[in-house]
Amino acid sequence: MAKLSKQVWGTLEDGSQVLLYRLTLKDGSYVDLSNLGARLVSCVMPDRQGKLDNCVQGYPELADYLADGKNHGATCGRYANRLAAATVTIDGKHFQLEANEGPNTLHGGFAGYNLHLWDCQADDEKVVFSLFSPDGEGGFPGNLEVKTTYTLSEDHHLTILEEADTDQATVVNLTNHSYFNIGGDNCPNVLGQRLTIHADFTTEVDAALIPGGAILPVKGGCFDFNRGKLIGQDIEADNEQLCFGKGYDHNFVLRKTERGQLEEAARIYDPASGRELTCLTTKPGLQIYSANHLSSLPYRSAAQTRSGLHTAICLETQNFPNAAAITWFPDPVLRPQQHYAQTTVYAFSAKV
């Protein structure tokens, strides 16, 4: 069982305390979690020689997270990813949302959950963050009760359980937005890491990265990771979809044996360190984002600062982007008396 510790990370302008919770395993591995955005701040795991390194990218100080306002490690909601024209229609009723990426909504709009201060209950077994999202926040209907629960097992499995309940029909799509670089402190980018994705299709996007409903086969192309390949192998290929994202920023339609079951979605292997990260999820989609827009921003990876394109990769488990507007995508509507519960596991290991 992990050992829990807690400290004050900083204070907001209104005097509220931002807390940092650490779950530590017997071998020294640990994760740092914050009530600011129900956020994964650090994830320190061993390589093949037992050396501990941070496997997620973040900022050196709390002030940097507040100044940037982005989603590093945070729980994104009410609807993660993009919604076209900042609108949703539920049961024939139209709702105007906050447009925070041109005319569209990204990760819940300006009222997204990444900078909310969540309530927390924690012990050695788990850290449970909870948030009340009121009716109309960001334009979304319904009072929503949200929970994000983190557990860390001795076999280096970080499990994230996301839950939600509503008092009226709304759309819900929660995800964790961690930037992974399992190479650790001295790994400048992820281009030499090997990625496998269990998906035969992606959802086609337009220039604004909004799906319109078309499903594209990946077989034999630059989006085909079924047999595993280096992340950098095709990232600069002459492909319209890649050009739209300036790299990978696309939803993969996961190949499932049974809907809603916890199954392996993807894995990343770093040859230099021997670390491997396996992502399992109950969700139908996986957004692969290869950190295509971070070139001017300084980031912290444990002991050093680094910056540049493709320094990390996001494995955002999710419903499909813009699913509220496309009837043949998985239904994102949550209704009263229904309970939203989705699980994602990030399982770390090392190959000798």
Return d(Cα 244, Cα 223) in angstroms, integer: 14
Instruction: Point out the catalytic residue in the list 137, 162, 163, 316.
Output: 316
φ and ψ at residue 72, rounded to 5 degrees: -55, 110
Return d(Cα 214, Cα 240) in angstroms, integer: 14
Return d(Cα 165, Cα 83) in angstroms, integer: 21
Rounded to the nearest 5 percent, the helix, strand and coil shares of the chain are: 10, 45, 45
125 as an active site residue: the answer is: no
End-to-end CA distance of the chain: 25
Instruction: Point out the catalytic residue in the list 107, 156, 177, 250.
Output: 177
φ and ψ at residue 318, rounded to 5 degrees: -170, 170
Is the Cβ–Cβ distance between 307 and 294 less than 8 Å?
yes
Return d(Cα 312, Cα 291) in angstroms, integer: 6
φ and ψ at residue 15, rounded to 5 degrees: 90, -5
Is the Cβ–Cβ distance between 309 and 189 less than 8 Å?
yes
Q: How many residues does the chain have?
A: 352
107 as an active site residue: the answer is: no
Catalytic site positions: 177, 316
